[in-house]
Structure 1
Amino acid sequence: MSQRTMRGRAVRWGVPVAAMAVVAAAVGAGPVIAAVQGDPTLPERTANQLLADAVQAAKSGPKPMSGTLVQTASFGLPGLPDMAGLGGTSPAALLTGSHELKVWYGGADRMRFALPGRMSETDLIVNGGQVWLWESDAEKATRITGDTEAAARPETAAPTAVTPQQLADELLSKPGTAVGVTNTERVADRAAYQLTFAPKDASSLVREVRLALDGETLIPLRVQVYAKSAAEPAFEVGFTSVAFTPPAPGNFTFTPPPGAKVEEKRIDDLTAVAGKRAERAEGIKEEAKIVGEGWTAVAVLPFSEQDLKRQLPPADQELPGGRAPRQDGGQGVGAVVDAVLKSAQPVSGPWGSGRVVRTKLVSALLTDDGRLLVGAVTPEKLTEVAGQK
């Protein structure tokens, strides 16, 4: 399986779309010289040098390693329902709190991911031609069979932002950012360079994004997104521990425990589901119009509250791991959407009327004439765009 499949298909530890919209900003990489202060102190490098070397290091592919990643989100979403019953693998659960992912990578055909939950753990183990998915809460082991190499080809892979490397790639995509760099950070007990990217436009809700690069390998160790309204990161994903040495072979072996339910699924079935999701996402993308660029870009697409509700899962849909629906009928994303819509504030102007929601990093405006405007900008910026023809 390829690196892209490892990131995109094998692990469903998706970062919320809102966070992706925030960190998809760019680097105007000028000759910013690293300050020499404190401990540790790495050799001085400009931002240009660091970014070029980091891209070159990424081209050589991932190194054998093991470590623990932690994602922490504090978007300030209003009125969120209780997520306790959803487990750590639910996309809705990832909107708040901290979530841990353990990674072992021994090569393209030897990898393991463990997603601990509350009194449970979900593991994906790849060992040569054997691929297993273990869900401890359901006591279920699924063996994935078929042509996994074909599913790993780039044209069939569905990328999902997961790791600091993926978020770092987004930071390299567009211009228009003030850049700074220091060489005195320590992340996961390793000396690291830290690049900072800050928007110049006052209408952006982002204060800065910080990217920590390992001082030896230049592999991204951590990405932090800071909102203007908070001292702590609104979103963070990074290693808390990491070792760039080959993991022990025992990490890639798996035998279903006695009494476990054992199933078999073909990779073709799994890729078909992912393909349909990608088609829906592409359809939405084609309908969207982007106004502006960089940090203050606003997506405008035809959308109504009725369209939104039609895309939500039914209240009796089975939860991850085969668990029964929650007794209150809340269904993760659906419950979140309902809570957010109830907290929306009415707004109006020459452009019309609608309801707006602002979080620490993202604002969304749902107009009464059937438009959805979303961006990492202030509500005032959204209403300004809403008035443009």
Structure 2
Amino acid sequence: MPIAAVAVVAGAIGAGPVIAAVQGDPVLPERTAERLLADALKAAESGPEPMSGTVLQTASLGIPALPQLSGTGGTSPAALLTGSHELKVWYGGENRFRLAMPGRMSETDLIVNGDQAWLWESDSSTATRIKGSVKAENAPGNATPHPGALPTATTPQQIAEEVLRRADADTAVGVSSSEKVAGRDAYQLTLAPRDASSLVKEVKLALDGETFVPLRVQVYARSAAEPAFEIGFTSVSFTPPAPENFTFTPPPGATVKEQSLDELVEKADTEAQARQEKGERLADGLKTVGEGWTTVAVMPFSEQDLRGQVPGQGAGRQGQGGQEDASGAAADALLEAATPVSGPWGSGKVVRTKLVSALLTDDGRLLVGAVTPEKLVEVAGR
């Protein structure tokens, strides 16, 4: 959801006017937004350089309180929608990297060093040796996530690419050359929509002054002083990590297993198959209304879909360990928090968070966008 919100609300840099917004004495040479955009895209196309750092994600989206879903832990995608979460990254090349997700009393690590790959889960004291070639483009957070124990990690670079690749002329753009992020001098682009129906006040993107690598992305909701969503480096070094960061030996007493990469991928694919089939079914009727900051996605969707039920099956037939019941409880809580709305088109229920609104109509449509509920009601009548 945070990624989708950033993608929907991203504004233009090249298409919109450039507004000077330098605060204090510039530390870095002044650059226009167009020049910064070109530098950032060039850095992204050349590929990542060896580096290490700690990424902190903080989300305060104002999501209604929902029951904890079965199997949802502190490193699950659902858990990443609230609170603060940390990810440690070491990158020495496509076959030499490490990701660590610390938990409250645990840590999950993926360590890849040439043809050696380990998945360490401290909560169960289990070390899994992964047999097969694992490369950085297949790491969590990239196009093909492996293995399922780690979340789909999202870095400032990945979110910034979504922001930088989209264009909208209805955007005010500001540039600052005096920012400090993770102890490094940085440029900051500020993108603000002019359309009052957008829930986004502004998006701030900080680029490293030397490498032009995105260091931080902040998304502010209207009438809010603090970011509703923020992800950025708290520390970063653009030097090759020490070799010992990529070595791993299972500690004494740990359970050691072996599993092939193909088995892990097959397991992940099996778990995702039902969701994918459902997503394809919904995507068949997906369309968008509007563009830029106020784009609204419209798709066929019902309360049955919200509860995660497969058509033709009753409650309790899908999932394991009560996950179906948990999904139903979450759906009930979400609908209870929704506000009834109506118009010539019919009626429905709308849920608004700080950055995203969603309208579920009684005639089986779901409208979602980073816009006000009033905008969704207007679109529903088209």
User: For this structure pair, what is the TM-score category when the shorter chain's length is used for normalisation?
Assistant: 0.7 to 0.9
Contact conserved, 1:131 with 1:145, CA < 8 A, in 2?
yes
Q: 1:132 to 1:335 in 2, by over 3 A?
A: farther
Displacement of 1:271 in angstroms is: 3.1
Structure 1 Cα separation of the partners of residues 4 and 262 of structure 2: 30
Match of 2:114 in 1: 128
Matching of residues 47-196 of structure 1 within 5 Å: 47-81=33-67, 86-148=72-134, 152=138, 157-158=143-144, 162-171=154-163, 172-176=165-169, 177-196=171-190
- Shifted more, 287-296 versus 72-81: the winner is 72-81
Displacement of 1:196 in angstroms is: 0.8
Contact conserved, 1:191 with 1:215, CA < 8 A, in 2?
yes
Contact conserved, 1:28 with 1:178, CA < 8 A, in 2?
no
Matching of residues 239-250 of structure 1 within 5 Å: 239-250=233-244
Structure 2 Cα separation of the partners of residues 180 and 151 of structure 1: 33
Letter in 2 for 1:138: S
SS in 1 for 2:306: helix
Could you list the per-position Cα deviations for residues 181-220 of structure 1 after superposition, in whole angstroms to 9, with x for gaps in the alignment?
1101111111100001111111110001000000111000
Q: 1:197 to 1:161 in 2, by over 3 A?
A: farther
Letter in 2 for 1:72: T
Moved over 6 A (4+): 82-85, 312-316
TM-score for both structures, normalised by structure 2: 0.86
- Shifted more, 219-228 versus 193-202: the winner is 193-202
Q: 1:292 to 1:337 in 2, by over 3 A?
A: same
Q: 1:30 to 1:347 in 2, by over 3 A?
A: closer
Match of 2:149 in 1: none
In the alignment, structure 1 residue 376 sits paired with structure 2 residue 374: no
Structure 1 Cα separation of the partners of residues 301 and 380 of structure 2: 13
TM-score for both structures, normalised by structure 1: 0.84
Displacement of 1:222 in angstroms is: 0.2
Contact conserved, 1:22 with 1:206, CA < 8 A, in 2?
no
Could you list the per-position Cα deviations for residues 71-115 of structure 1 after superposition, in whole angstroms to 9, with x for gaps in the alignment?
000000122446999432111211110000011111111110110
Letter in 1 for 2:283: K
Percent of pairs with identical residues: 69
SS in 1 for 2:288: strand
Structure 1 Cα separation of the partners of residues 302 and 288 of structure 2: 18
Match of 1:197 in 2: 191
What are structure 2's unaligned runs of at least 5 residues?
A: 146-151
Contact conserved, 2:22 with 2:175, CA < 8 A, in 1?
no
Q: 1:29 to 1:189 in 2, by over 3 A?
A: farther
Could you list the per-position Cα deviations for residues 340-363 of structure 1 after superposition, in whole angstroms to 9, with x for gaps in the alignment?
222011111101011110010000
In the alignment, structure 1 residue 339 sits paired with structure 2 residue 337: no
Displacement of 1:255 in angstroms is: 1.3
Displacement of 1:23 in angstroms is: 4.4
Displacement of 1:52 in angstroms is: 0.2
Q: How many residues align?
A: 363
